[in-house]
Amino acid sequence: MDFKEGEILYFNKPLCWTSFQVVGKIRWKISRTYKIKKIKVGHAGTLDPLATGVLIVCTGKATKRIEEFQYQTKEYIATLKLGETTPSFDLETEIDNRYPFEHITKDKVEKTLINFVGAIEQVPPSFSACKINGERAYKLARKGEEINLKPKTLVIDEIELLEYNLPEIRIRVVCSKGTYIRALARDIGKSLDSGAHLTGLIRTRIGNITLDKCMEVEDFEKLLEAQSAELNHNQ
């Protein structure tokens, strides 16, 4: 592997890691193994800490391709809990409101999901990396400040109900760059005359890169250790 010339690596992002932490770990491991002082490493599309799944990491000259990957279609499997909301729209924050959900039938869910297919306007979550006057929205949200983010146009190509087991539902979403699945959960909850937040999220695909093509961070570390041992043996 030539990390300076450029490598494209596919990882299954671990739960509770930020995307930046994955990049930092990969950069540190490459630098330490190959005694490289400076190496460019970046990721193509942030995943929330409580999400897992496909994370594309580019090194060296391949970082020029990051934007190309960012614009590719993404697929997610999301688990929503109906009847409850949180400020972050996931499990990062505590439940702030409860709503009735007993009126929600499987047919109602399926009909509601259809309304989200196509070009839609979506207001990003307050707990997001969007910038307000140069500061990240999530930093302001954690201070308890009121945040007003403008809606953005995005495209939902497909949305499918996979499981209906009140108060939880599981859906598959195929969407464009810039889609916040947490915000989608919020909007689905509202459309069902209830509330909702994410309890699980897996990114299963970016473009044609699927989860089964991804490695664990630990596997990459072992791979570099094996290559390093081989290089030392041949010297």
Active site residues: 48
CB-based contacts of 184, cutoff 8 Å, min separation 6: 78, 116, 122, 156, 173
- Beta strand ranges found along 60-151 (DSSP E): 74-82, 84-85, 97-98, 118-122, 131-132, 135-136
Residues 6+ apart with CB under 8 A from 5: 60, 61
* Contact indicator for 211, 11 with CB cutoff of 8 Å: no
- Spatial contact of 229 and 27, defined as CB atoms under 8 Å apart: no
